[in-house]
Each structure stands twice: as C-alpha cells, then as structure tokens.
Amino acid sequence: MSLLEVTDLSVVYEPHGAEPTYAVRNASFALERGEFVGLVGESGSGKSTLGFAITRLSKAPARISGGCILFDGRDIAGIEAEELRRQRQGGFAMVLQSGMNALNPVRSIRNHFGDIFAAHGHVPRDKRRARARELVEKVELPASVLDRYPGELSGGMRQRVSIALALSLEPQLMVFDEPTTALDVLVQHAVMNTIRDLQRAENFTALLVSHDLGVVLESTSRVMVMHDGEIVEDAPAAQILHAPQHEYTRMLLSHYADPRAEVVELPGLAVRGATIETSGGSVAVPSGGRAGRLAHSAIVVDDVTKLYPPPRRGEDPVTAVDHVSFTLEPGQAMALVGASGSGKSTIAKLVTGVERPTSGSVRFGDDRVETLKRRGLRDLRREMQMVFQDPYSALNPLNTVEYTLTRPVVNYSALRGVDARRRVLELLTTVGLTPVEQFAAKLPHQLSGGQRQRVVIARALACDPQVLIADEPVSMLDVSLRAGVLALLDDLRVQFGVSMLYITHDLLSARLVTDHIMVLNRGRVVESGVTAQVLRFPKDAYTVELLDAIPQPARAGGAA
Amino acid sequence: MRYILRKLGLLILTAWAAITLNFLLPRLMPGSPADAALAKLAQAGPVSPATRAAIEVQLGVPTGGIGSQYVQYLGNVVHLDFGVSYTFFPQSVSSLVTSALPWTLVMVGLVTILAFVIGTLVGVLAAWKRGTWLDTLPTLSGTFTSAFPYFWTALLLVFFLGYVLRWFPTSGAYGASASPNLSGTFLLDALYHAILPALTILITSLGGWILGMRNTMINTLGEDYVTFAEANGLRNRTVALRYAARNAILPSLTGFGLALGGVVGGSLLVERVFNYPGVGYLLYNAVTNQDYPLMQALFLMITISVLVANFIVDILYGFLDPRTRR
Amino acid sequence: MTTQAMLPESTGSTPSTDPATVVPHLRGPASPWRVLTRAVATIWSNKKARLGLVVLGVFVLVAVFAPLIAPYGASVNGFGRNQPGSSAHWFGTTAAGEDVVSQVVFGARVSVLVGFIAGTLSTLVAVLVGLSWGYVRGPVADVINFIVNLFLVIPGLPLMIVVAAYLRNGGLPIIILVVVLTGWAWGARVLRSQTQSLRGRDFVTAAQFAGEGSWRIVFREILPNMTSLIAGSFFGAATAAILAEAGLSFLGVGDTTTVSWGSMLFWAQNSNAILTGQWVLLFAPGLCIALLATSLTLINFGVDGLSNPRLREGAGR
C-alpha cells in the first residue's frame, strides 16, 4: 500500500465577491514509502496549493472541493480538526517557502520545540532537552541556537530550524514547499544538501515542491510536472530528463543549460561560443526602431571602497565594496556576479551616483560621478539607465504604460505631444509589445511579468542612453519567460550600441548576454576576464563554488 | 537596558517639551491672561507680592525678560509651586491638584486597564472565531459604541440607572456624610459611587480596543508562523494565544499608549457629568471660572501623567518583544 | 472608448473625447468629478460603507436644507418652557422655550460643517507633513518625528479646553482651529510610514532615473498610491473633530449661544433636564452625534479599495 494516495483532488479558490477559480483540477497520484518525489511548475500552476491541500493546510478562500486523500490507508480529506491535529505527529509535516517568517519572533527556538512536544506528548518530559539538541544537530546547527530568538538567526539558519521542527514530529511524509527559494545561492545549495542527506538517513517520504526543475531533478527520483492546475506528467527523473513526454516539460527543460559548456544555447538566444570577442558595433536596424547613437564614454571605476556604518554600536563598519577597479568600455557588456552581500548591487549604486564611494573614484566620460549634484545626476541619468529586478515594483501600479514611457521622453528630449507619443509607440514596438496602441493604454496589473519587464526595458531605452545597468533583470520571472527577456536585452544592446553592466547571481544568464565577467566575493573582485573563459575554466575557488551551486539536471536521480 | 535608557531619555525630552509648551501657551494668547488672573485674584482677597510674582512667571507679563521668566518657571515646576487658586482661594494650586489626582488616577487608570484587557481578549476571540456571531456581535456593537461621545454615555447612564432605576448614586465620589479615610465602609462607598463613571468609560472605550485587537490579530493569523504552528499540530489554544495573540498584542500595545490621551480627555468629560472630584472636574471648574493658574497646572499634570503612562507601556513593550532587547 | 464604457454615470457629466482622434491623453485619465464618482462607486460596493454613506447623506441633506425641514427657527424661544412632546413640538421644548426638533435639525449644520472643514484641514496638514517627512532623510526627519510624537501623546482634549478657555467665546472658527491643531498628527504618522515604504519601491527610483523632480515624484507617483489612506485619515479626523466639538460645546468653552448638538446637551445638563424627565433632550442630540460618527467609521471600511487599480476599474461593471 502506498503511503499517500490522492485521487481526483480538486481545490477551488472562492474569493469574496469574485468568480471561483480552480487552482488544482482532478489531481491523482501516489507516493510510496521512502520515496523522494518532486512537484514542479511555474507560478500559478497550483503546485503549492496542492502541497497545502495534501497536508490539510488549505485556508479560506481555498477549499478542497472534491476527491480523496488516503494517508496510510485513511481518508484525511474530511476528518475533523482535533483528529487531524493528532495525525500530524507521526503523520505528515510541512516546511514552508519562507522559512524567514515561519518562526514566531517572540518565542525562543527551544520554546518552539517545547510547544510541539507539549502538543503531542510523544517525547517524555525529561528527554525533551536532549531531543531538541539532537534535532538541531541533525540540521547541522550548533545547540546554542536553542536559546536564540528567530530574529537573531540568518535566513538559512531559520530554514534549518523549521526543518528540524518539522522533523521533531517524526513524520512519515515531509512536504517541502520551495524550501530554498528565499535564500542566497550558496545557502540554497547547502540547505538542499541537508534535506537530501536527511531524507536518506531518516528514510521519510518526501515531496519537494519547486519552480526549479533543475533542483528537483538533482534531488528526487520521480518528478510530477504541474501546469495550469493539472499534473501533466509523472515519471522517473531520468525519464523526465531524457525522454520528456509532455510538451510543457520539454519547454521547461529547454531553459536549462550548463554555463560551463563549450556552447550554451537557450530558445531564442544566440549561440555563444567560447571565443567571442567584444563587439561594440551596431547591426541592422529593424523596422520601427531607429539608429542608435553609439556609446562613446567608458565607465572607469578606480580603486573604489564603500563602507556602511555598523549595524550596531561598537561594531566595525561594514565593507560593502573593497578596493574594486574596472573599466566598462563603450559598447561592452560586463557581468558582475556573486552571492548576496558580495557588493554587486552596491557597485551599481556607486556607478549610478545613488551612493557615494568612501574612497576611490567613478568616472563616466569626463564626469566624476561621486561629485555630481542634483543637476549633474540628472544629466548622468540621461546617459545611464537602469533595468530593475522586480517588474512588479518597478512600475507605478496607477500609471498607464503610455504615461510611464512618456515621462523620460518629455524630460530628456525636445519631443512633445504627438511626437512624444510617436516615440512611445516606437519604443513599444522595439520591445515587442504589439499591438502598440493597446499596450500603451494598459495598467501594469493587466500585464504579465514578462510584459512588465519589457516595459521597464523600454523605459530605460526611452532617453537613448549610452549605458544600461541591469540589476538581476530576470530573476523574478518564470523560467520560461527569462530567455525572451534576455534575448531582447541582448538584441537591443547590440542594436542601440549601448554598454551594459549586468548584475546577477545567475551564471547561466551572465554567460548568455555578456562578454566580460567579474566575480565578486565580500566586496572584492576574485576573478575577472572574458565570460566564457572564466566560466569554463574558473581559477578561483569561490567561482568554482558558485558554479557547483547551480543545480544540474544531468545529475538526475541522485536520490534514487 | 539600553532600550530603557533610551525611552527614559525620550520621556524627559518630551516632558520638557510639554512643560515648555505650557509656559508658552498663555504667552501666545491674545490679551493678557496674567493681568486677568491678577484682577480676579484681587477680587478674592489681598495679593501678596510673592503670589503676584508666581502668577506673573506662570502666565507671563507683557514686560520682563522671557529668558529669566522661563528659568524661574522651570524652578517653580520642579518645586510643584503653581501659585494660588482664586476659585478656591486661598488654597494653593498644588494642594488642589494633589487632592484631585488620586481619584482620577485610581478610577480612570484602573478602568482603562480593565477596558484594554477585556477589549483585547474579546478582540482575540472575535478574530479567532471570525465570521461567527462571536465576531459580528462585538465588532458591530463596538463600532457603534466607540462613536458615542463620552459625556453622552454618562448622561444616559445617569438618567436610566441613576434617576429612573435608582440603582447607583449619580454624583460625587462618596456619600455626602462621609469623609475620606481608608476604612472598609468608606472604600465600599467609594466603589459604589465609582461604578457609573467607570461603566461609562468602559462602554465607550471598549469598542476601540476590540476593533484594534481584532484587526491586528487577523493580520497575525495570516502570518507564516501561525500556518507553520498549525502544520506542526500545536493545540488551538497555543496557536491562538502564544502565536497569534502574543504577536498581535505588540502593535495593540503601541496603539494603547497613543490612544491613552483620548481616553483621559474623554474621562474629564465623564467627571464633569458625575461631579466626580478628580482632575477633570477641577479642570472644568477652573475653565468656567477662568482660574488660569489652576488650569495651567492641571493641564501639565494630565500631560505628564499620560507621558509617564506611555513610558510604562514602552517598557512593557520592550519586555514583551525580544527584538528590542538587542 | 473602453475606459469610459466602464465608468458609472460619467457620460452626462464629462465631455467625452471623440473616439476617432488619436490625440494623446498624456496627463493621465481623470477629471475631478470622474475621480469622485469612481471613489463613491468603490466605497458603495462595500456593504457597511454603503450604510455609512446613506446615513451621512441624510445628515448632510438635513444640514443643507435645515431651514426648510425645521418647523421653527433654531433660537425662536417664544414657546412654553420644559414642555413634553406634543403635536406642535414633537420632542417638546427646552428650558429656554425653544423647539427641540428644530434645534436638532439646525445642530446638524455645526457638526457636519466642523467635521468637513476640520477633517479637510487636518488631512491637508497630515498629507503635507506626512509626505515630506517620509521623503526626506536625516536630522530633519528626526526633528519632525519628535514633534509629531509630542502631538500624538499630549492629550488632545485638555489642550483644546485650555486653548479654548483662553480664547473665550471665539466661536466655531476657533474650535475648528484648535481641533486641527491637535488632530493632524495621527494622519501624518500613518501617511509617513506609507510614504517611506513606497519610496523604497523601485518605481520611485525609476522615476528619478526618468528625470522627474522631487515634487513630481511625491505628488504624482507616491501620493495617488495613498488615496485610501488619505481618505481614511480624512474620515478619522472628521470623526474626531465632530466628537471634540461636541465635547467642548458640552463643557461650555465654545460659544454657548450657537445651536449645536454639544451645546444642546450643555443647556440640558445645566437646566437639569434629567430632573424634569425630559430624556429626549438628552437622548436626541447625543444619538445624532453617535450616528454621524458611526457613519464615518462605517465609510472607512470601504475606502481600502480606493488605491487598488483593480477595484478602481472594476467598480463600474
């Protein structure tokens, strides 16, 4: 008998005063004892809803509208609250997406364990201290965390604590809902390793819910692919990787590549060989676009250091950027890569004049960026524009696309009225948002994430800048949308002849759209050079570590 | 410890600002409050030079250096020397304030704490049982009663429970024949007299606490740590109290500190209706008789009391939230 | 055009643009009138708020048409004193021989006026202080922080009483001034924290990169995203103003000859209406204050949707 058998499960969302929508439709699957299964899908696919439903955590407005969930031979879809509560010990546990907020900020970690032991009484009173200690050690934390409060722990530590708490229930089934999404790349990798090791050691059944097919393929032995509320494919990991049946699975897979490979290719993105040299020239201008003015000023960052005041009194100041020097030649595309806290975003702020360096200088053409005042900054920004990370926060929800694009045109050029509007429509054509008249009138919430990011790019190009600073422009987008936005960015850069500083933690995208790369660790440049060269033959240990943290679908079936 | 010191520093700074405001207020007003006060005082009896000087410093005279007045004023405040009342001549202002303050502090203070505690508990229950009658009933009636003017609630209670049903006394803090002492009989009598004013404050302020707590509690119920606690099979009581309510109480407590001024203001009106011998009633008398020295001193005392209460709330907050301890 | 088709009752009141022209409408969508109808429609869609709007509407109508509705003038005092309810005087007469119904009707004028003016002025101050406070950084922000906190903790009513006592018989303008002086701080604090959170959003940085000036960023990018909070602090401030005016009038520190619900209660208390058994005299003005204040609180349940673009456009469907 399977541990979990789900038949025809449907979950409906019934928001107040709106039409109900089905987030999960007739899902059927089984989990065998000791199996590690992945559940993959993009945002809105219903994967998390399904994860919540099988652990009976669905809350209004979500409701299980039909089907049955047999856990260990018993239907848990309809059992009442107190019975369900007791089932959770020795039954099914859940680790939530945002481990950051899964812990009660006013209770110590020890009390969190104490609450669980008290609720189920499965650990005798005199053994509780020892058991809590043993559990945190299992997730590779020192016993001293037990006396800390959640606010005193890092994100990775908190997520480990919540894994230990779920483990303290001694569950037969553990559901991990995007357990590493909110964490930094290297931490993600380490936490996933812990989860894999634990699953093997404790031999519980595990369901890993994730948007990242790479992570899932690397960890699990069987993968279910979800799309639009339905499970479209359910097969062993190796089969998903080598012989995917459903077209959606194939599409997802096509967006994975190894940045270390000789040739890296994604759908719609040009092949980039190992020896591509910097090319600053413009290419043919497509209809609707216009000849760009070639970039002619270099950004020269010279021995720049940035210190931030200490977070608490009596501590040392934080060194965000530590003696960094580089030059971004006109027309060049350079990647700044590193984990969070490596100083890459601070460099972007220093280059754009948002922050001033503690020492060293930033030059753009003849300007000393760090000395610019209000007027000078405005002139600088005519030449230097940003593409933001989060397309949901980068557009004012109350302004139409047309208004958003008109403002830089009006502020930075002599175009007014009908001419300005013509320019706006031209920009929309350039970023592929057609029919332009229709998109011009839309508000951000009427656009998809990818479309929003195109508007953000169009806005950055509106004043015909020389330099684009792109800060993780695709990290918030679904995998299937990333290639399109990256391709657009790359095409436009070449076509308009602008230079680009591309900031990312994602080495694959860096490989695809840049010629040069700088790897940052704790504010220092540890390695730099031609992108393909550095990624294929990394010299620094930190670069290797970053590369190793990338999930490799090719390692599929690792848990089998 | 650092937190407490910081809050203490803030308290002193705010108190200083309030004292200064009190100093400036009569000086900013058109006409000359000091002259008016001295004229009134002269009607009541002979004015000694010392009294005259005290009033001039307190209310401001058109001539004289404002700097030296300010220094002298601060000195007077520290010594609680606010001059002489001419409504209750020749009693000193500070003795009047001292005899009125306990009544207000005990009655209003206790009821306010009681209302906050009851309101918070009802709010927790309403949010936990969201959508049921346990939610709808207190929420709706709370919305309505919190819009009541304090004095109107007081008038209604006086009329129905006092005059029509004759259940409770309608005036004063103790029976006409009694004199304040600490005997059991007197305390019982005082309690009996305090019921209606207390009930007024309770009814009128309860709604605000219920609504405030319910709303923050509904927010914390949506937090991940509550979902995770449920996923771990904690008992309902634990989830509701130690996880959701325990966190919801923090913003609620901040709200309590800030709303305190409003409750104190409202209770002044209540004292007027019941002729309750606290600072509110005294302030009313001072205002109607244009007894400026008394008025100024009372305003200062009320403000300082609210500031101190806020400080206590801040300390309590620091005690309840481990994040402030770092 | 599609945007117009979605709007309720806007065709008659606004000149519609010719759908055939492609002239750009750069300055954004709406005339003030259309914004107002849309706001009312959004609030109307909430059940509690709808009730509040109806009650408020009734009070506003009564206030505006008071001379037509009231059977007698507010201060006409030729009638018998302390009379019980009769067909000529439904609620009886006061100790000074005035008709109670007429006084209640005319009293609505003062409360509605005070609520509207003091609410508007407090909100205006709150918006100016809150937005600039949220947008600036450094020592200036700390100073404003201290001042706002001071105004928050200083008990408002005693301050009002003291100020009003100095400015004896200043009448309504003085009361409004005092209410505004003590009532803006709460709104400023709420708007400030929202401004801070919005200014951290990328679209504000993006506006800087688009070459916008500070004023335009604050008032064109940030402000419209706070419509619901501003409406919320308006209704909150108006409620507080109405209650404060009533309290001051009840104490007799305002102008006691103005007929308002508060001063009616002042005279009722002073003439011992309780002893004469005229409970209507106590009951009616207070109930009106409570109902008016409740209606504003209820409307506040519906303003949440005002800043949400989804609800904005969905309101007319």
User: Is the Cβ pair A104, B246 closer than 8 Å?
Assistant: yes
Give the 3-state secondary structure of chain C.
CHHHHCCCCCCCCCCCCCCCCCCCCCCCCCCHHHHHHHHHHHHHCCHHHHHHHHHHHHHHHHHHCHHHHCCCCCCCCCCCCCCCCCCCCCCCECCCCCEHHHHHHHHHHHHHHHHHHHHHHHHHHHHHHHHHHHHCCCHHHHHHHHHHHHHHHCCHHHHHHHHHHHCCCCCHHHHHHHHHHHHCHHHHHHHHHHHHHHHCCHHHHHHHHCCCCHHHHHHHHHHHHHHHHHHHHHHHHHHHHHHHHHHHHHHCCCCCCCCCHHHHHHHHHHCCCCCCCCHHHHHHHHHHHHHHHHHHHHHHCCHHHHHCHHHHHHCCC
Same domain, residue pair B191 and B314: yes
pLDDT of residue B60: 61
C2 vs A269, more confident: A269
Same domain, residue pair B253 and B190: yes
Q: Are the C-beta atoms of C264 and C285 separated by less than 8 Å?
A: yes
C97 vs B295, more confident: B295
Same domain, residue pair B100 and B184: yes
Domains of chain C: 43-63+103-314 (1.10.3720.10)
Q: pLDDT band at residue B64, thresholds of 50, 70 and 90?
A: low
pLDDT of residue A61: 82
Chain A residues inside the 8 Å CB shell of B238: 115, 118-119
Same domain, residue pair B176 and B74: no
- Examine the pLDDT at C16 and tell me if it is beyond 60: no
- Examine the pLDDT at A286 and tell me if it is beyond 90: no
Average of per-residue pLDDT values in chain B: 84
Same domain, residue pair B69 and B98: no
User: Is the Cβ pair C211, A459 closer than 8 Å?
Assistant: no
By Cβ distance, the residue of B269, B292, B298 closest to C250 is: B269
Q: pLDDT band at residue A133, thresholds of 50, 70 and 90?
A: very high
Average pLDDT rounded to a whole number, residues A26-40: 93
A512 vs A288, more confident: A512
In DSSP notation, B259-310 reads HHHHHHHHHHHHHHHHT-SSHHHHHHHHHHTT-HHHHHHHHHHHHHHHHHHH
pLDDT of residue A543: 92
Structural domains of chain B, count = 2
pLDDT of residue A98: 66
Chain C residues inside the 8 Å CB shell of B146: 297
Same domain, residue pair B180 and B48: no
pLDDT of residue C268: 82
pLDDT in tens, C118-162: 999 999 999 999 988 888 777 888 888 888 888 888 888 888 888
pLDDT in tens, C248-261: 888 888 777 788 88
Chain A residues inside the 8 Å CB shell of C17: none
Q: pLDDT band at residue C29, thresholds of 50, 70 and 90?
A: very low
Q: pLDDT band at residue A207, thresholds of 50, 70 and 90?
A: very high
Same domain, residue pair B266 and B292: yes
Same domain, residue pair B100 and B74: no
* Three-class secondary structure of residue A308 per DSSP: strand
pLDDT of residue A291: 44
Same domain, residue pair B312 and B277: yes
pLDDT of residue C173: 84
- Examine the pLDDT at B62 and tell me if it is beyond 70: no
Least confident residue range of A41-45, A453-457, C167-171: C167-171
A305 vs B105, more confident: A305
Same domain, residue pair B72 and B178: no
Say if B162 falls within a structural domain.
yes
Chain A residues inside the 8 Å CB shell of C224: 398
Interface test with B, best of C243, C264, C296, C298 (most B CBs within 10 A): C243
pLDDT of residue C9: 32
Q: What is the CATH number of the domain that holds B110?
A: 1.10.3720.10
pLDDT in tens, C69-95: 777 777 777 767 667 767 766 677 776
Same domain, residue pair B243 and B104: yes
Least confident residue range of A290-294, B67-71, B218-222, C263-267: A290-294
Domain ranges of chain A: 4-102+169-254, 297-559
Q: pLDDT band at residue B280, thresholds of 50, 70 and 90?
A: confident
Say if B40 falls within a structural domain.
yes
Say if B4 falls within a structural domain.
no
Phi/psi at A84 (nearest 5 deg)? Answer: -60, -45
pLDDT of residue B263: 80
User: Is the Cβ pair A119, B232 closer than 8 Å?
Assistant: yes
Complex confidence, ipTM: 0.83
By Cβ distance, the residue of A382, A398, A402 closest to C225 is: A398
Chain A residues inside the 8 Å CB shell of C221: 396, 399
Say if B28 falls within a structural domain.
no
CATH class for the region spanning A297-559 = alpha beta
User: Is the Cβ pair B229, A151 closer than 8 Å?
Assistant: no
Least confident residue range of A367-376, B128-137, C275-284: C275-284
Least confident residue range of A328-342, B235-249, C2-16, C212-226: C2-16
Q: A4-102+169-254 adopts what CATH topology?
A: Rossmann fold (3.40.50)
pLDDT of residue C46: 80
Q: pLDDT band at residue A99, thresholds of 50, 70 and 90?
A: low
Interface test with C, best of A407, A410, A503 (most C CBs within 10 A): A407
Tokens 């900054």, residue located: A377
Say if B68 falls within a structural domain.
yes
Q: pLDDT band at residue A559, thresholds of 50, 70 and 90?
A: very low
CA atoms within a 13 Å half-sphere pointing along the CA-CB vector of A52: 24
pLDDT in tens, C160-169: 888 888 876 6
Say if B267 falls within a structural domain.
yes
Structural domain containing residue B296: 93-325
Q: pLDDT band at residue A258, thresholds of 50, 70 and 90?
A: confident
- Examine the pLDDT at B138 and tell me if it is beyond 70: yes
Q: Are the C-beta atoms of A449 and A391 separated by less than 8 Å?
A: yes
Chain B residues inside the 8 Å CB shell of A151: 322-323, 326
DSSP B92: B
CA–CA separation, A396 vs A455, rounded Å?
Answer: 12
- Examine the pLDDT at B120 and tell me if it is beyond 90: yes
- Examine the pLDDT at A10 and tell me if it is beyond 70: yes
pLDDT of residue B29: 75
- Examine the pLDDT at A270 and tell me if it is beyond 90: no
Tell me how long chain A is: 560
End-of-domain residue from the set B79, B102, B136: B79
pLDDT of residue A142: 94
What proportion of chain A, given as a percentage, has pLDDT over 70? 93
pLDDT of residue A309: 84
- Examine the pLDDT at C4 and tell me if it is beyond 60: no
pLDDT in tens, B26-53: 877 776 667 777 777 677 666 677 777 7
End-of-domain residue from the set B79, B114, B133: B79
pLDDT of residue C45: 80
What proportion of chain A, given as a percentage, has pLDDT over 90? 46
In 3D, which of A549, A18, B215, B287 has the Cα closest to residue C169? Answer: B287
CB-based contacts of A448, cutoff 8 Å, min separation 6: A481
Cβ under 8 Å to C: A residues 418-437: 418, 420-421
User: Is the Cβ pair B287, C298 closer than 8 Å?
Assistant: no
Does pTM surpass 0.90? no
- Examine the pLDDT at B203 and tell me if it is beyond 70: yes
